[in-house]
Structure 1
């Protein structure tokens, strides 16, 4: 039996360490504070008896659980990231533990009247009677993806303490900077040495994903002309008005708040401007590769159209691809998804196969030669103050890792 209190205490110790990443930094990891948890994980891996524990100059942590079977079994891996999103503060995380959740509103912060309510977050209803970890309403929680780290660490310790469970060689890796799209950039696939792996980075219990968005980021720079407003007639060009035209020219209903499933979108994530210059930052997402390319072309065409209206190059756009849909790399090796599905069923979890409306390290790793589907870690409402995770979901995710190790060895007997 996996010790619930031990798992919970481990998780709490991780989320209290601030590991927020920074997209404006060029270093790896992007913030020095990510080293705090990375180094802690190195020591804990050694303490529980993992072998070949290493941390490189970019804070990628790797370790090995040696096989305890004689037959040849493919090396499998488990991956999670230790950074948290820059979208919301992760400083001074103060988790609240709700035992035997009664299904009603959870007051996160009475002073600020911040309430986690099942009336708005319907998923809460399925966790009645369970232990739920929430924020105090002033920070995110960090279950994305410290829940995944907790589950991998706990599963490895359980396998070491229970050698009667037969398994092949297992590799684990904890990465920096996933939240800013760089988690796999300096991941040494050859050093990792696994035939395939699983990211423990999904949301609700049962999620199993091998499809994700194709993703790109776009920066639109709009140049205006600033003139004293008292003498501006026929001279001033307000870049913010041009920005408004650009924004309104994109399909209004193709935004995150109006789409679901495999529907793509344009997401305006940042706008900064004055009369002289306005900068728009977008993310572009679509599961379908042709639609993805069409979205990027639509933005380029819009830039050209606006420039022609003003008869000068007043708008410039830079688009950078970030990651691609891993489905094309997973489908040729679908047995690795089948194994995960079987593992879930054997521990009493109903698999929910669905496309990711986002991305994981696994998307980039799959294109680097390491097929890497995504398994639930249990958290909900990532990247904000309403984030929470049921401890029972984390326990089940840990059981899935253990069962996957066991089933993989059985498959190759």
Structure 2
């Protein structure tokens, strides 16, 4: 039987998951948040926070909500932040989500619809949740546990603290961001509105995994300019931008692609392409835990462009690279309070926390590197993120909330 706290987390997650918040990386340059649905969820969170009696709220025009809970201690302790993002990815449709609750999982494969099934053989974590509550999709969209599970966890903890003044805590900041999935969510973050000495993103995966190290990331935009000619008179004149782009993509090392790497190995990923025989735009994602190797990849793309131009005379290729976020491990080591308190909280709860690598990034990675605020990542119980096979385990969500509450308790001690 679910506890009242577990039921609250579940109902919040279901409510948030049903709101269309898929972000749009093609719109971030001109609109923030990139989609209106993200405001729908942010505004709902503000309304719910006010109903809890939390009125010190900053609503930033860029799509960030910061709610502050004053300390109820008679001594000073550092402010702690907890952060989650409201947007969902677009790898598969992230809107129109219809979450389905499995109240007592039977340990077997989970049919989503006539075409798609979550297979036990592909999801070894399922075995530990037999008899427990799971949330799955209908097979047509992702679920959105990344990161609406984190939002539900933070909101449920906030409600518990606000409704029970006997629970002692220091000053807290609850931060909800937008457009994390596009990499642009922290571009205009209002750092002048926060005071937290350390922070946690609640944006992780399987139960008991915590993370303080992530990729360095860069986005590279490559533009190919060809030479247009009537196809009947093209010999020696036409330079096909599509052919140039195909050559360029095929030259990327396949052994250094997302599908061929894991662990600490980085990669090149041709992500989007659009255009015609005359003009083509290509976006490449670069990731690596070692910044020097990441920068070497950027240089390799510049050299590849020169080689392609030599093979396609009169064709032109421009390469523009931008670092998106950096590995947050250095800040975590320089300011160990966040990880120390996290592990102490886990120890007190009897949780065997396991440190893992983030083969991606979080808003916390940018906070760490741009404002020197350590920001480790806490699990939410989501699996198969960004896919129609996504599922979330309610017991893991509850454990995440318990860990958040215990971190607050540890942080409140002298």
Q: Distance in 2 between matches of 1:277 and 1:94?
A: 40
Q: Please say if residues 207 and 351 of structure 1, whose CA atoms lie closer than 8 Å, have aligned partners that are also in contact.
A: yes
Alpha-carbon offset, residue 398 of structure 1 = 0.5
Question: 2:208 aligned to 202, 206, 210, which one?
Answer: 206
1:118-133 equivalence runs, <5 A: 118-133=120-135
Deviations 1:85-108 (A, max 9, x none): 133222221111112212211111
Q: Indicate yes or no: 2:284 matched with 1:302.
A: no
CA distance, structure 2, for counterparts of residue 235 and residue 129 of structure 1:
68
Counterpart selection for 2:54 from 22, 34, 50 = 50
Q: Is the 8 A contact 2:239 2:315 kept in 1?
A: no
Secondary structure of 2:168's counterpart equals coil
Q: Is the 8 A contact 2:60 2:190 kept in 1?
A: no
| Structure 1 unmatched runs, 5+ | none
- Which SS does the other structure have where 1:187 is aligned? coil
Secondary structure of 1:210 counterpart: strand
- Correspondences of 1:183-194 after superposition (within 5 Å): 183-194=185-196
Offset of residue 161 of structure 1:
2.9
Question: Match of 2:400?
Answer: 397
Tell me if structure 2 keeps the 8 A contact 1:347–1:396. no
Per mean C-alpha deviation after superposition, the further-off stretch among 145-154 and 87-96 is 87-96
CA-CA distance at 1:287 after TM superposition: 0.6
CA distance in 2, matches of 1:51, 1:398: 22
Q: Aligned residue for 2:104?
A: 100
- Contact persistence 1:220–1:318 (CA under 8 A): yes
User: Counterpart of 1:80?
Assistant: 84
Q: Output the CA distance in 2 between the equivalents of 1:205 and 1:243.
A: 42
Corresponding residue of 1:323: 325
The separation in 2 between residues aligned to 1:344 and 1:396, in whole angstroms, is 10
Conserved in 1, the CA contact under 8 Å of 2:239 and 2:314? Answer: no
Say whether the 8 Å CA contact 1:205–1:349 is kept in structure 2: no
Secondary structure at the aligned position of 1:83 is classed as coil
Find the counterpart in structure 1 of residue 5 from structure 2: 3
CA drift at 1:217: 0.7
Equivalent runs, 1:361-380 vs 2, <5 Å: 361-369=363-371, 370-380=373-383
For structure 1, which segment, 173-182 or 52-61, has the greater mean C-alpha deviation from structure 2 after superposition? 52-61
Q: Which residue of 1 aligns with 2:156?
A: 154
SS of alignment partner, residue 128 of structure 2: helix
Counterpart of 1:18 in 2: which secondary structure? coil
**Counterparts of 1:267 and 1:74, CA distance in 2:** 41
Structure 2 residue aligned with 1:18: 20
Which residue is 1:38 aligned to? 42
Please state how far the C-alpha of 1:348 moved relative to its aligned partner.
3.4
CA contact (8 A) 2:367 2:375 kept: yes
- Residue 140 of structure 1 deviates from its aligned partner by 1.2
TM-score (norm 1): 0.95
For normalisation by structure 2, the TM-score amounts to 0.95
1: CA distance, partners of 2:312 / 2:163? 70
SS at match of 1:250: coil
Distance 1:247 1:62 in 2: 42
Return the offset for 1:313: 4.9
- Whether the 8 Å contact between 2:133 and 2:394 is mirrored in structure 1 is yes
1:109 aligns with 2:109: no
- SS at 1:72 equivalent: coil
Alignment correspondent of 1:225:
227
SS of the aligned residue for 1:22 comes to coil
Distance 1:107 1:38 in 2: 33
Whole-angstrom distance in 2 between the partners of 1:166 and 1:203? 29
**Structure 1 segment 139-150 matched on structure 2, within 5 A:** 139-150=141-152
| Deviations, residues 195-240 of structure 1 (Å, cap 9, x unaligned) | 1110101111112111111111111122223434443333332222
Give the count of matched residue pairs: 409
Kindly report the root-mean-square deviation, in angstroms, between the aligned alpha carbons of the 2 structures. Answer: 1.6
Q: 1:302 & 1:8 partners in 2: Cα distance?
A: 50
CA distance in 1, matches of 2:242, 2:60: 45
What CA distance in whole angstroms lies between the structure 2 residues aligned with 1:153 and 1:311?
Answer: 59
